């Protein structure tokens, strides 16, 4: 998913449901009677800039609910973004450990795309990104930034991006699992969590390795 991607914390699920219900009950602007819009940013850190210079939102809209079609589309877009970024870094990096990690991401998220599309076909769900989704723009921004770097700077920026991105993906997966209605969609998102944690652990270890090598 993410990589939309270790177990779901009950408190997170409950909080997400309560927040939605509270918004539905109180989401009216008393001045004109119009519904007050609201967006949540369960993926990434809202508008915080990552180490690669991209603005991470990759948001899942929760004006009322996040649909299974939204969840699958977000997972597909997230996996595709990871493949594109990892493929570029694998080709450009000269660090064996970084190349190996990029290759792992390219392979795992490539399989993720197949899983998502398989579930969508099996459940007859037409994937649809939320209207405010900016995954494509963010991916291009990240790639543009990485293309401006070389050597150790490229490796470090890539690994830092993957740490932040996978931390966000784990948070996103928890929220999306709580919102999923179709059992197959819920199972898919929950099943991504162990792999996302594996990717995060490897990125954190690689970050320490790169920091040590620079000294």
Please, are residues 145 and 203 in contact by the beta-carbon 8 Å criterion? no
Structure confidence at residue 194 (pLDDT): 98
Comparing 26 with 82, the larger pLDDT belongs to 82
Is it the case that residue 4 has pLDDT exceeding 80?
no
Please check whether residue 33 lies inside any domain of the structure.
Answer: no
Question: What pLDDT is recorded for position 48?
Answer: 35
Total domains, the chain: 1
Per-residue pLDDT of 126-185, as tens digits, reads 999 999 899 999 999 999 999 999 999 999 999 999 999 999 999 999 999 999 999 999
Q: Which residue has the higher pLDDT, 175 or 48?
A: 175
In a domain, residue 77? The reply is yes
Round to whole Å and give the CA distance between 144 and 149.
9
Query: For 72-92, b where at least 16 C-beta lie within 10 A, e where not — what string?
Result: bbbbbbbbbbbbbbbbbbbeb
- 96 found inside a domain: yes
Collapse the DSSP code of 55 into the 3-class scheme (helix H, G, I; strand E, B; otherwise coil) and give the result.
strand
pLDDT digits (tens, 9 = 90+) for 192-204: 999 999 999 999 9
Query: Which pLDDT value is given to residue 213?
Result: 86
Position 25 in a domain: no
Instruction: Give the model's confidence band at 67: pLDDT under 50 very low, under 70 low, under 90 confident, else very high.
Output: very high
Would you say residue 44 lies in a domain?
no
Q: Distance (Å, rounded) from C-alpha 79 to C-alpha 62?
A: 21
In a domain, 59, yes or no: no
Name the DSSP class of 30. Answer: T
Looking at the domain assignment, is residue 49 inside a domain? no
* pLDDT recorded at residue 91: 98
Residue 165 to residue 159: CA distance in whole angstroms: 10
State the pLDDT at residue 215.
64
The dihedrals phi and psi of 58, each to the nearest 5 degrees, come to: 35, 50
Task: Examine the pLDDT at 206 and tell me if it is beyond 90.
Answer: yes
Is 51 domain-assigned? no
Confidence check: pLDDT of 24 > 70: no
Interatomic CA distance for residues 152 and 143, integer angstroms: 16
**pLDDT: which is higher, 75 or 48:** 75
pLDDT for 214: 78
pLDDT at position 21: 39
Q: What whole-number distance in Å separates Cα of residue 112 and Cα of residue 79?
A: 6
pLDDT higher than 80, residue 51: no
pLDDT tens digits along 74-114: 999 999 999 999 999 999 999 999 999 999 999 999 999 99
Domain of 90: which CATH number? 1.20.1260.10
Could you tell me the two tokens for 178?
A: 């709580």
User: 172 is in which domain, residue-wise?
Assistant: 1-7+67-215
């Amino acid at each position: 998913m993410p990589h939309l991607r270790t177990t779901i914390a009950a408190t997170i699920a409950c909080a997400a449901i309560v927040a939605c219900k509270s918004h539905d009950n109180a989401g009216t602007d008393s001045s004109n009677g119009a519904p007050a819009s609201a967006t949540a940013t369960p993926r990434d850190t809202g508008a915080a800039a990552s180490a690669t210079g991209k603005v991470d939102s990759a948001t899942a809209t929760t004006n009322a609910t996040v649909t299974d079609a939204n969840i699958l589309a977000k997972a597909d877009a997230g996996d595709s973004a990871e493949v594109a970024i990892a493929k570029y870094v694998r080709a450009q990096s000269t660090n064996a450990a970084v190349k190996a990690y990029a290759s792992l991401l390219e392979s795992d998220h490539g399989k993720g795309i197949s899983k998502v599309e398989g579930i969508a076909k099996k459940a007859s769900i037409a994937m649809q990104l939320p209207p405010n989704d900016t995954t494509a723009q963010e991916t291009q921004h990240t790639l543009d930034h990485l293309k401006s770097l070389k050597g150790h700077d490229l490796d470090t920026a890539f690994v830092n991006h993957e740490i932040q991105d996978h931390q966000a993906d784990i948070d996103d997966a928890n929220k999306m699992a709580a919102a999923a209605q179709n059992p197959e969609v819920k199972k898919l998102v929950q099943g991504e969590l162990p792999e996302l944690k594996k990717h995060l652990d490897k990125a954190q270890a690689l970050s320490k390795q790169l920091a040590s090598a620079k000294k």
